[in-house]
């Protein structure tokens, strides 16, 4: 499995310069709000995904700087250790063992990673954008063809929307784009449907383990493309597209339904139930990615204990302390609570304290 042995972070968010070595199992980071715990996890995420989990690059520069750099040394599942380095200023450079990638996107999937964060609540409460982003992030790590297909589809969508906004749109060019988008959309839609079907029983199982089996949850995929082709939908809605100046059909309109006992969880679920569901969703993602890669991803658990009672927290930590999970990074604002729970479960852990972007190993 990939293990992050050491990280060096320079001028990323509130971290001026830090060099840290990590345990290969459980790494626990405590500290108050705003001290940098989440920033460190985001730096680890960046090394896998070549972007922040939360914000655009321009918001990641430490105040007063115009660039940042992150590098990490990894033990890999097979073969020699590898070093990943990212430098972001006016442009972005990503290197593996000092060799730049010809295409940054080709790095995605080398070091599988999963994050559980308080920001995940947007997948329950907001529009389908965040749910689509979650699915795209997972599938892009597992399937290079999916990532490439989505990039091509989005380029075509941008071209089509620009054409629809033109004063005198070229309808023959619109026909050509529709045919191309149909060819791209069909396999992407099928991949999303397959993913949702595989995700559903795993989410049910993990939610039951976390909650004690008190409720039933489900995940399903909703898309017009399951019943009609893109060209059929685009043809039927062309006048509407031209009037609005954008494309109203396609993958960008898909959604994923999250339900608790047959009702949308955003409407009927408590904060604890929603948090339990989102953790179950991410653990299900973890299991699917682990099976696909043949080894466990790195797991980032940011503020895991928030909105969960102690029984659910205990269930969660007993799960992640098992052999099925690989390297884990866990944050909490309460050092005594974190230490007390973790010490009761495993001795294979390391502790760090964050203060003002400075991290001290305890």
Q: Find, among 98, 11, 81, the residue nearest to 46 by Cα.
A: 11
DSSP string, 43-57: HHHHHHHSS-SSS-G
Residue 282 per-residue DSSP state = H
- How far apart CA 296 and CA 293 sit, in angstroms, is 8
The b-or-e profile of 262-277 (16+ CB within 10 A means b, else e) is: eeebeeebeeebbbbb
In this prediction, residue 339 carries a pLDDT of 75
Query: SS3 of 260, please?
Result: strand
- Which residues make Cβ contacts (< 8 Å) with residue 344, sequence separation at least 6? none
Quote the strand ranges of 216-357, DSSP E: 217-222, 255-260, 263-264, 298-301, 328-332, 349-355
Question: Do 69 and 85 touch, CB atoms closer than 8 A?
Answer: yes
Domain assignments of the chain as residue spans, ordered by start? 1-112+295-362
Quickly tell me which residue has 């502790």 as its tokens. 351
DSSP string, 75-109: E-SSSS-EEEEEEESSSEEEEETTEE-SSGGGGTT
Quickly tell me which residue has 């928030």 as its tokens. 306
- For 103: left if phi > 0, alpha if psi spans -120 to 50, otherwise beta; the answer is beta
In this prediction, residue 62 carries a pLDDT of 95
Q: Looking at domain 1-112+295-362, what is its CATH homologous superfamily? A: P-loop containing nucleotide triphosphate hydrolases (3.40.50.300)
For 154, phi and psi rounded to 5 degrees?
A: -65, -35
For 264, phi and psi rounded to 5 degrees?
A: -55, 125
Write out the H or E segment, with its range, that includes residue 17. strand 15-21
Q: Rounded to two decimals, what is the model's pTM?
A: 0.91
The tokens for 76 are 């890999």
- Beta 3-12 vs 263-264: how paired, if at all? unpaired
In this prediction, residue 18 carries a pLDDT of 96
In this prediction, residue 325 carries a pLDDT of 79
The tokens for 268 are 């009927």
- How far apart CA 276 and CA 304 sit, in angstroms, is 10
Question: Do 303 and 115 touch, CB atoms closer than 8 A?
Answer: no
Kindly give the confidence (pLDDT) of every residue in the chain, 362 residues in length, as a single tens digit, with 9 standing for 90 and above: 899 999 999 999 999 999 999 998 889 999 988 999 999 999 999 999 999 999 999 999 999 999 999 999 999 987 789 999 999 999 999 999 999 999 999 999 999 999 999 899 999 877 889 999 999 999 999 999 999 999 999 999 999 999 999 989 999 999 999 999 999 999 999 999 999 999 999 999 999 988 877 789 999 999 999 999 999 999 999 999 999 999 999 999 999 999 998 898 988 888 888 988 999 999 999 999 999 999 999 999 998 777 677 777 777 777 776 667 789 999 988 777 777 777 776 777 889 999 999 999 98
């Amino acid at each position: 499995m990939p293990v992050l042995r050491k990280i060096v972070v320079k001028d990323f968010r509130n971290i001026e310069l830090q060099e840290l070595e990590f345990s290969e199992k459980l790494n626990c980071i405590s500290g108050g709000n705003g001290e940098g715990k989440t920033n460190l996890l985001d730096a680890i995420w960046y090394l896998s995904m070549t972007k922040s989990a939360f914000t655009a690059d321009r918001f990641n520069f430490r105040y007063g700087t115009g660039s940042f750099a992150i590098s990490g040394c990894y033990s890999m599942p097979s073969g020699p250790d590898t070093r990943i380095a990212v430098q972001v200023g006016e442009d972005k450079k990503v290197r593996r063992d000092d060799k730049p990638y010809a295409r940054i996107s080709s790095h995605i999937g080398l070091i599988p990673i999963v994050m559980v964060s308080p920001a995940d609540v947007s997948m329950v409460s907001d529009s389908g954008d965040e749910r689509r982003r979650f699915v795209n992030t997972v599938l892009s790590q597992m399937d290079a063809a999916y990532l490439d297909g989505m990039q091509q589809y989005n380029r075509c969508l941008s071209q089509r929307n620009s054409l629809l906004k033109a004063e005198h749109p070229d309808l023959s060019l619109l026909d050509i784009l529709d045919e191309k988008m149909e060819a791209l959309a069909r396999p992407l839609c099928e991949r999303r449907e397959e993913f949702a079907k595989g995700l559903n029983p795993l989410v049910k199982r993990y939610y039951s383990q976390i909650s004690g089996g008190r409720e039933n949850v489900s995940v399903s995929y909703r898309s017009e493309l399951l019943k009609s082709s893109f060209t059929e939908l685009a043809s039927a809605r062309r006048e509407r597209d031209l009037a609005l100046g954008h494309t109203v059909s396609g993958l960008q309109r898909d959604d994923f339904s999250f339900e608790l006992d047959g009702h949308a969880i955003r409407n009927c679920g408590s904060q604890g139930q929603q948090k339990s569901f989102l953790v179950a969703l991410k653990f299900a993602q973890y299991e699917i990615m682990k099976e696909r890669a043949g080894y466990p991803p790195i797991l980032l658990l940011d503020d895991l204990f928030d909105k969960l009672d102690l029984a659910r927290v205990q269930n969660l930590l007993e799960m992640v302390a098992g052999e099925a999970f690989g390297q884990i990074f866990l944050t909490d604002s309460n050092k005594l609570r974190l230490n007390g729970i973790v010490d009761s479960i495993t001795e294979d852990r390391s502790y760090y304290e964050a203060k003002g972007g400075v991290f001290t190993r305890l």
